[in-house]
Structure 1
Amino acid sequence: MIDVTNDILYQAASVWNKLSEYKYSLTYGYKNKLYEINLTFSPNDFPHLAGFQYLKDLALPKYNRSKILSRILNGTLNLKQIQKATQYEKMVLPRLEVLVQIKDALDNDFNLFSYMPDKYPFHTQIKADYLISHHSDIVSLVFIVQSYVDDSAQCNYLCCSTFKQGERNYESNQRPRVLLKKERIHINSGSSAILLDKLSSQN
């Protein structure tokens, strides 16, 4: 039995694993036109979002990134192993703290922005299309990058970076979008939960 009481790595992996069963459909309006963001969560993206790129000083087993999530969940890879990294406290832990909260953030209130890095008073190399900012006891940020266009010509999006707000204000000079509808859809069953719907009231 895995003791997960104080294992933030396992908790983050568990939340992400659950999220991978769902997609979120986010609809906003701009200039009398509706835009839809279909947000999905790939197990392959978890290592990068959790900051595994900052564990280079550790001699961890070479896992395919698609297997890392399952290795954490079955206890093969654990928190004690990655805590030994010199950048764990600064670069990894803050990302795990956000990942633990990410489903709650998406299910509740958040701010949506069109992401325009050229408008920042600082330089960033993050490339994305939208920014989600959730304010709680911490400020967590989720960047969303366009992934691909499927057969129905719908754009699907994936998270490309998540972290806590630091000295840099990533909402600075960004263009806010008014969220009109938010739906959480279970991919396999097709069942859905309407989390926000301002469109019906407009009809």
Structure 2
Amino acid sequence: MNKKQILDELKTKCENCQNCALAETRTNVVFSDGNPDNAKYVLIGEAPGENEDLTGTPFVGRAGKLLNEFLAQVGISRENDLYIINTVKCRPPKNRVPTDFEKSACRDYIETQISIIDPKVIILCGATALKSFYPTKTPISKIRGEWLKIEVKGKKYKAMAIFHPSYLLRNHSLEEGKPRWLMLEDLKNIKNS
């Protein structure tokens, strides 16, 4: 079986998952987006929002559009270079942060996807993704842009935390040292790694 076939089987398991209460309120499982065969990077976001729950695709709302703009600016193709997932597969009610239990219910799906894709770099998008894979008390504003090592199913991966685009929707300045400027610098470092 090729990567796509293996991931399709995993997606079917996910769609039938009842491991936590999020299954009761979801419209769609938000499994992934991107190219499993050629992806150099796995981007892990926080959780599906309303638009993602309706479409079954991660990062399609306003934050997703902004992410697409940043990726295009640095020459990372969402369609070819990236495989996008979240820490949970179902939308938490009222877009709240997923609980540790909810994240643990999805953890094997997430780790299996990462193992199948076997990326060059894992991009931890936002504080929830960072803390899910790299337990730290350091705020994302201090650790973003640093190269980290994380272990998934016994294999070590190079990783970097970046700001979540929803945070950047509230911070518009492109001035040097500001969040949007830092996001571009981080994505350039990832692209050039």
Q: Confirm or deny a common fold (TM above 0.5).
A: no
Pick the structure with more strand per residue: 1
* TM-score of the two chains, using structure 2 as the length reference: 0.28
Larger Rg: 1
**Given the two structures, how large is their TM-score scaled by the length of structure 1?**
0.27
